Structure 1
Amino acid sequence: MSAETIATIWAFIIATAVFLYVCMDGFDLGVGILFPWIRGQKDRDLAVNTVAPVWDGNETWLVMGGGGLFGVFPLAYATIMPALYMPIIIMLLALIFRGVAFEMRFRAATDAQRIWWDRSFSGGSYAAAFAQGVALGALVQGVEVQGRAYAGGWWDWLSPFSVLTGCALLAGYGMLGACWLVWKTEGEMQDQVRGLARGLTWLTLGFIIVVSLVVPFLLPQFRDRWFNFPIILTALPVPVLVVVLTWRLFRGLEEAGTGKEHRRVVWRDGVPFACALGLFFLSYTGLGISMWPMIVPPGITIWEAASPRDSQLFMLVGAAVLIPVILAYTAYVYWLFRGKVKAGEGYH
Structure 2
Amino acid sequence: MDNSTHTMLAITWFGLIGLMLVFYVVTDGFDLGIGILSLLRKRREDHDVMVQTIGHVWDANETWLVVLGGALFGAFPAAYAMLLEDLYLPVMLLIAGLIMRGASIEFRHSASRGPLWDKVFGIGSLVAAGAQGVILGKVITGLIPGALSGVFIAVSAVGVVAGYSLLGSTYLVKKTVGTIEQWARRLALLSGFVTVAAAVALTAATWFISEVGHDRWTQPGVFHLLIALGLAAASAFAYIMASLYLGSSNGPFRASVALFVLSFVGLAVSLFPDFVPGKLGIVEAASDTSTLVFMLIGIGLLFPVMIGYNLYQYYIFRGKVVGHSHAGE
> Structure 1-normalised TM-score?
0.88
Q: Find the aligned partners of 1:167 and 1:219 in 2 and give their Cα distance.
A: 20
Give the counterpart letter for 2:106 in structure 1.
E
**SS of corresponding position for 2:275:** strand
Residue 89 of structure 1, CA deviation: 0.5
- Post-superposition Cα deviations, 1:5-46, rounded to whole Å, max 9, x if no partner, equal 111111111110011101000000000110122352211110
Query: What does residue 14 of structure 1 align with?
Result: 17
Query: What does residue 126 of structure 2 align with?
Result: 126
Query: What does residue 104 of structure 2 align with?
Result: 101
Give the counterpart letter for 1:326 in structure 2.
M
Identity %: 35
Query: What does residue 148 of structure 1 align with?
Result: none
**SS of corresponding position for 1:37:** coil
Q: Find the aligned partners of 1:325 and 1:98 in 2 and give their Cα distance.
A: 25
**SS of corresponding position for 1:20:** helix
Query: What does residue 147 of structure 1 align with?
Result: none
1:201 aligns with 2:178: no
Query: What does residue 136 of structure 2 align with?
Result: 136
Residue 291 of structure 1, CA deviation: 0.7
Give the counterpart letter for 2:268 in structure 1.
G
Q: Find the aligned partners of 1:231 and 1:135 in 2 and give their Cα distance.
A: 24
Residue 52 of structure 1, CA deviation: 0.4
Give the counterpart letter for 1:171 in structure 2.
A
Query: Which one of 307, 320, 336 corresponds to residue 287 of structure 2?
Result: 307
1:213 aligns with 2:216: no
Give the counterpart letter for 1:54 in structure 2.
V
- Post-superposition Cα deviations, 1:116-147, rounded to whole Å, max 9, x if no partner, equal 11111000011000000001101110136xxx
- Post-superposition Cα deviations, 1:140-165, rounded to whole Å, max 9, x if no partner, equal 10136xxxxxxx8xx99982211110
Query: Which one of 161, 174, 178 corresponds to residue 183 of structure 1?
Result: 174
**Please, which moves more after superposition, 228-237 or 198-207?**
228-237
- Post-superposition Cα deviations, 1:204-225, rounded to whole Å, max 9, x if no partner, equal 1111111111122343231123
**SS of corresponding position for 1:341:** coil
**SS of corresponding position for 1:339:** coil
Query: Which one of 217, 227, 235 corresponds to residue 226 of structure 1?
Result: 217
1:294 aligns with 2:284: no
**Please, which moves more after superposition, 219-228 or 13-22?**
219-228
Query: Which one of 263, 268, 275 corresponds to residue 283 of structure 1?
Result: 263
Q: Find the aligned partners of 2:60 and 2:219 in 1 and give their Cα distance.
A: 42
Residue 51 of structure 1, CA deviation: 0.3
Q: Find the aligned partners of 1:323 and 1:202 in 2 and give their Cα distance.
A: 34
Residue 297 of structure 1, CA deviation: 1.6
- 1:242/1:158 Cα in 2 relative to 1: closer, same or farther (>3 Å)? closer
Q: Find the aligned partners of 1:300 and 1:133 in 2 and give their Cα distance.
A: 21
**Please, which moves more after superposition, 279-288 or 333-342?**
279-288
**SS of corresponding position for 1:84:** helix
- 1:65/1:218 Cα in 2 relative to 1: closer, same or farther (>3 Å)? farther
- 1:212/1:157 Cα in 2 relative to 1: closer, same or farther (>3 Å)? closer
Query: What does residue 297 of structure 2 align with?
Result: 317
Contact 1:83/1:157 (<8 A) preserved = no
Give the counterpart letter for 2:122 in structure 1.
S
> Structure 2-normalised TM-score?
0.93
**Long gaps (5+) in structure 2:** none
Give the counterpart letter for 1:284 in structure 2.
F
Query: Which one of 308, 311, 320 corresponds to residue 331 of structure 1?
Result: 311
